[in-house]
Structure 1
């Protein structure tokens, strides 16, 4: 009898232990690392228009045909007024920015100019946002570039209002940039500078760790950045047919087997080429349910979606599907290593189906 009790206890422990939802390395190891974004200097504004409905439809079609890596870049288009485009060519005059030009007109003077630091330190945190960092000398290469605009003044509220009007905008970066007054080239290798006040929009969070663009040389002219502030929206767009999201931060769900000893994990997808959008994972969940119903398999009732980074660079939006909702306490997975690469989780959310969250029942 004692042996039976011990065996039963061991079995119970086995059923309660997690079944790790390890990253699908065959899927993610081949995902290309996005190139760093270059903010254009020959226009005062560029907005990337994102069509969430088009992207979700593309995801559903892809899942129904068995795809797991899904590029949604066709759902984004660049929009800029042709009247704002300025000619680029050797020594072509560039429009003047709205910020002050320090004296002497050097990169080092720009970086130490106290007015830039004062403006960044005094900037208000807009309603509905959290400040991610303050007064850095670098701009972001975050996830899901959605364009930029040059502002007339260092105004975090104005920048936030523009972000709020852009589909998919989750965060923005506000900073001063030292730019050339002429396009550097032969005969004007190091022209005088102008100061642009840039408001850059992103489809994922800006952080101090992805604020890694400290500038560049254009011929002999040095572009540098000062007074860089980052702000992240406190909410994300809801997903139709699903509950309000639970936020897990830098961890993902690592679910155990269910009450019948069965795995509830239904597979993973990864989306690239657009902003973070929970409705993409919702679309994948619905499409997976349609596929599974035909095979008399469990349907999708819960998903966990997050930004996946390789070696601290965001490479895509990862999406794990489940047949049952799991509590926040199961959000314990932080990432893994593969082939010398380190994969990490951030900006992680969980959504349950509104109609049926998937409660396990004993037969």
Structure 2
């Protein structure tokens, strides 16, 4: 079970800095704003380029092991507060000239042009008629762009436009939280030479897996050019899982949607907010926040306040996707010494200049053995 023992600096700048675990200081001003210092310390999440279907690799998935991720986070936090996640990437393969590519199973317009592909009515008909799989909710339909979401988990090519098949494949991937299903206009040969710069097209039906929510705002990939061949997308639908795993020792997570906790001072005038950690690697995983909370507790117990002051322990957390103008910043994890109900989920994000920071896929959970309900302030 998670002991959730923790004392954090209440004006914590970021758990990515080694000095994150100082003694409890002045309470944060209310309402709780996004921790801008923590956000500013982050590098932008790179935009994922989903591979064009290749004869040597028609499908690929990204492996994720939740327990290993939690262990890694805990070890890093206990050591120094520095996030030790290392960047990963795919190495480019050498390619033969004008190599034939797999033929897709999707329909195609009579006129083989990107404009005709985008206007082809059958794509819209299929997308709008698609059912929402059990355990998922639909976030958009029939767009002409695919997602650049959080936590790319790979893709596969389907033999039919089926949300149920795509969902079943997502369910089989550890960490998959959402999928994007669409038609893609691809070249029949690799257009890597002037002799095949604009070959005939084929229609692939792509099922792309993500570790965070997909929505209309992060559907920003409208295709790409390969030599003179224009890859375009149509009939793009997005679906997000409504299933979430409960970490050991935690209460069943409560879904707050696009709201985050904004906890007031308690009835004794004390601030229960402890601090924040932001994750940028791997899929959205509530156990990361739980593991960080416990690890912070271990650190705090090992480094009690020199003045003998109260050691506040983390009993409750709120984790969600923080978005900037619709694109993911990272998985935000706020920790508290007392549990607050969903009625305190009143923070829907904020503007910073012209940039809109919003909350998505927000969950709260408490220590199941010692939730420490907050002493609510008097009206």
* Same fold at TM > 0.5: yes
1:292 deviation in Å?
Answer: 2.7
Give the 3 Å change call, closer, same or farther, for CA 361–314 of structure 1 in structure 2: closer
Quote the Cα distance in structure 2 between the aligned partners of 1:357 and 1:19. 23
Residues 215-274 of structure 1 deviation map (CA, whole Å, 9 limit, x = unaligned): 111111111111111111112121211111111111211111122211111110011111
Give the equivalent residue in structure 1 for 2:109. Answer: 102
Residues 306-337 of structure 1 deviation map (CA, whole Å, 9 limit, x = unaligned): 11122321021010010100111211112244
Quote the Cα distance in structure 2 between the aligned partners of 1:118 and 1:206. 21
Quote the Cα distance in structure 1 between the aligned partners of 2:151 and 2:111. 37
Give the equivalent residue in structure 1 for 2:50. Answer: 39
Q: Going by fraction, where is helix more abundant, 1 or 2?
A: 1
Residues 35-82 of structure 1 deviation map (CA, whole Å, 9 limit, x = unaligned): 2211112221000011111110111112213426x35457x898xxxx
1:338 deviation in Å?
Answer: 4.3
Give the equivalent residue in structure 1 for 2:345. Answer: 331
Q: Does 1:156 align with 2:163?
A: yes
Give the 3 Å change call, closer, same or farther, for CA 303–311 of structure 1 in structure 2: same
Instruction: Please state whether the residue corresponding to 1:253 is helix, strand or coil.
Output: coil
Give the equivalent residue in structure 1 for 2:33. Answer: 22
Alpha-carbon RMSD across the aligned residues, in angstroms, is 2.3
* Structure 2: unaligned runs, 5 residues or longer: 1-27, 305-309
> Among 217, 225, 232, which residue is 2:225 paired with?
217
> Among 224, 227, 236, which residue is 2:235 paired with?
227
Quote the Cα distance in structure 1 between the aligned partners of 2:358 and 2:40. 13
> Among 112, 123, 127, which residue is 1:120 paired with?
127
Residue range with higher mean Cα deviation, 35-44 or 334-343 = 334-343
Give the equivalent residue in structure 2 for 1:268. Answer: 276
Give the equivalent residue in structure 2 for 1:246. Answer: 254
Instruction: Please state whether the residue corresponding to 2:271 is helix, strand or coil.
Output: coil
Give the equivalent residue in structure 1 for 2:177. Answer: 170
Give the 3 Å change call, closer, same or farther, for CA 305–196 of structure 1 in structure 2: same
Quote the Cα distance in structure 2 between the aligned partners of 1:39 and 1:91. 20
Instruction: Please state whether the residue corresponding to 1:54 is helix, strand or coil.
Output: helix
Give the equivalent residue in structure 1 for 2:356. Answer: 342
Give the equivalent residue in structure 2 for 1:310. Answer: 324
Quote the Cα distance in structure 2 between the aligned partners of 1:93 and 1:189. 13
Q: Going by fraction, where is strand more abundant, 1 or 2?
A: 1
Instruction: Please state whether the residue corresponding to 1:242 is helix, strand or coil.
Output: coil
Quote the Cα distance in structure 2 between the aligned partners of 1:194 and 1:268. 47
Give the 3 Å change call, closer, same or farther, for CA 86–179 of structure 1 in structure 2: farther
1:134 deviation in Å?
Answer: 1.2
TM-score for both structures, normalised by structure 1: 0.87
Instruction: Please state whether the residue corresponding to 1:50 is helix, strand or coil.
Output: coil
1:293 deviation in Å?
Answer: 2.9
Give the equivalent residue in structure 2 for 1:13. Answer: none
* Structure 1: unaligned runs, 5 residues or longer: 1-16, 79-84
Are the counterparts in 2 of residues 293 and 299 from structure 1 also a CA contact under 8 Å?
no
Instruction: Please state whether the residue corresponding to 1:64 is helix, strand or coil.
Output: helix
The number of residue pairs the alignment matches comes to: 338
> Among 186, 192, 196, which residue is 1:188 paired with?
196
Give the 3 Å change call, closer, same or farther, for CA 130–178 of structure 1 in structure 2: same
The higher relative CO (CA closer than 8 Å, separation ≥ 6) is in 2
